[in-house]
Amino acid sequence: MMIIGGYRFSLQYARNTKERWQCSRRSYYGCKAVVRLNNGVLRYRNVEHNHEP
Ligand SMILES: [Zn+2]
């Protein structure tokens, strides 16, 4: 579990050096906030949530 800006993110998958973290409220709110890491480096982030933390 990771916290960004007060929001919780859950690891969706980790494959080789790549990780994809999704908002832990995704299933409940349909939130599309996501963070992708490659080799521990942030490669993409969308932290636009459609709900409060
Ligand atoms: Zn969210």
15: tokens are 């494959």
Ligand 1: centre distance to CA 42 (Å): 18
pLDDT given at position 5: 94
Ligand 1: centre distance to CA 1 (Å): 13
Q: Taking a C-beta distance cutoff of 8 angstroms, is the pair 45, 32 a contact?
A: no
Would 23 be classed as within a structural domain? yes
Would 53 be classed as within a structural domain? no
Ligand 1: centre distance to CA 41 (Å): 21
Ligand 1: centre distance to CA 16 (Å): 26
Would 51 be classed as within a structural domain? no
Left (φ > 0), alpha (ψ -120 to 50) or beta: where does 14 sit?
beta
Would 40 be classed as within a structural domain? yes
Q: Taking a C-beta distance cutoff of 8 angstroms, is the pair 11, 19 a contact?
A: yes
Structurally, how many domains does the chain consist of? 1
Which domain covers residue 31, as residue numbers? 2-46
pTM above 0.85, yes or no: yes
Would 12 be classed as within a structural domain? yes
Ligand 1: centre distance to CA 37 (Å): 18
Each residue's pLDDT tens digit, 1-39: 999 999 999 999 999 999 999 999 999 999 999 999 999
Q: What DSSP element (H or E) covers 22?
A: strand 18-23
Classify strands 41-46 and 34-38 as parallel, antiparallel or unpaired.
Answer: antiparallel
